[in-house]
A and B are shown apart, each in its own frame.
Chain A
């Protein structure tokens, strides 16, 4: 078993007095795609937000490649190589596609930046066609490409995807799965929240199930082949 890239230990996060994560503990292995499953309010998105620093854990530890990142501000965590594509995508709607992408690599520059940019355009030829277009004029799927492309511009080692299929057409789900495959092939580790079980099991290597802020189940996706019913029961019942 390789050393985990991300180790989450006994993580507690709450909003005000309402606890969301209550002692979640799990690992993300290098190069894998781990999917978080669970009912609404079980702490999936909160997990991602705690890892990237959008919320500060009340206790527990988030160890990224040996560095403790719990409590660091988002831009410091981003600097360590963790990028999040949030559910809202958080694009800059009036700026062009290319400006959005370049903003993802503000901290880098010169040759590395133009190489990564060319690479993102290779991956998403649609974005290359629309590079000079204001991002708000793109379709939902294209905007999701911009959001993933912008996260890629920083050359992250861990990519957090919050509901990549949210609000998108079923055809686009397969496209998302292909994107995830390609990212894994490049050695990017992914931690994903996904309500669409077909996509979750098509793209992920492992899954864990959260309930009331703690891990109650988990396993290898291949071992569960075909038996989604058991998992759905575990998530919602």
Chain B
């Protein structure tokens, strides 16, 4: 394959300008939406964070861990329980839900740190997700069991938090902040070490790089990002149910990671936007939705095995991420 071109200094400046231009334009989005499309837009922002956390672990770190939906559920339940039972303001529950998500990341990484790899790590992390779902169902006094947890009514600056436009601005701020923080983390020396672990873990360790700490921190950051997304989700739907955090959610986020481009922050954003918005547009074709959805996903992957992000990289090196390399 052709050599990956690196962005020039001018292109890098343009890129950082572009990074802030996108959310700046999005600030105007509520002017162009109706309540239904606004709700969809809010859901897309949540998907971006979920996909971002997922791709970090399976794409950048190269660990086949499927605990992503567990982090998401942990974050959502943490937010709902803190808000409903302890009266914590919802905005404050976002970082707290992130912290619980990071704790989930810590638990998931402990399997990886004991040398469990590839399919074995996949199955053990899948079991972790199912175990969490079992806990939501059976810890009725805390989680509400099958009835779920309703989010309490709250107002912020005189506006109800059930207002989708207000939610959009909060979700947008959280998403931009976490995407930027993740980009910076992956651009640092730490990000280089993450890629080195993916490429050759033994060689990385022999260079005195603490691979265990690299794996642990990446899992915990992934858990933090997805845990925060869980808190947004709790407010987004207003009522947290166990069935939101099952295999279907996991498979949908996995598809977003692959369609966007494994291990790419840009890809996480593109995959989440396309696959969250698409089903809504396909509602115009009742009975054919799933068929079209499947065809589009398969079509993208056949035409662009490295995902949507690879298309943009071919257009301009602006979209080449630091340390990101396509497999040959």
- B206–A92 touching, CB < 8 Å: no
Q: How large is the interface on A (under 10, 10 to 19, 20 to 34, 35 or more residues)?
A: 20 to 34
Q: Inside 8 A of B209's CB, which chain A residues have their CB? A: 75, 103, 106-107
| Additional pairs, 20, CB under 8 Å, beyond known A78-B208, A95-B192, A95-B325 | A74-B208, A75-B209, A75-B210, A76-B208, A78-B206, A78-B207, A90-B206, A92-B195, A92-B196, A93-B199, A94-B199, A94-B328, A95-B196, A95-B323, A99-B195, A103-B193, A103-B204, A106-B208, A134-B325, A137-B3
Q: Inside 8 A of B3's CB, which chain A residues have their CB? A: 133-134, 137
Q: Inside 8 A of A76's CB, which chain B residues have their CB? A: 208
Kindly state whether residue A79 has any CB partner on chain B within 8 Å. yes
Complex-state Cα separation, A2 to B208, whole angstroms = 30
Q: Inside 8 A of B193's CB, which chain A residues have their CB? A: 103, 106
- A102–B4 touching, CB < 8 Å: no
Complex-state Cα separation, A154 to B327, whole angstroms = 28
Map CB proximity to B onto A65-78 as digits: 1 under 8 Å, 0 otherwise: 00000000011101
Complex-state Cα separation, A103 to B207, whole angstroms = 7
Kindly state whether residue A52 has any CB partner on chain B within 8 Å. yes
Map CB proximity to B onto A81-102 as digits: 1 under 8 Å, 0 otherwise: 0001000001111110001001
A136-B207 contact, Cβ under 8 Å, with A92-B196, A92-B200:
no
Complex-state Cα separation, A133 to B1, whole angstroms = 13
Q: Inside 8 A of B6's CB, which chain A residues have their CB? A: 132
Binding site for A on B (CB under 8 A): 3-4, 6, 189, 192-193, 195-196, 199-200, 202-210, 323, 325, 327-328
Kindly state whether residue A226 has any CB partner on chain B within 8 Å. no
Q: Which chain B residue shows the least CB distance to A136?
A: B328
A109-B189 contact, Cβ under 8 Å, with A92-B199, A103-B204, A154-B208:
yes
**B299–chain A nearest beta-carbon distance, Å:** 27
Complex-state Cα separation, A109 to B202, whole angstroms = 22
- B205–A74 touching, CB < 8 Å: yes
A103-B192 contact, Cβ under 8 Å, with A92-B199, A94-B325, A136-B328:
yes
- A75–B199 touching, CB < 8 Å: no
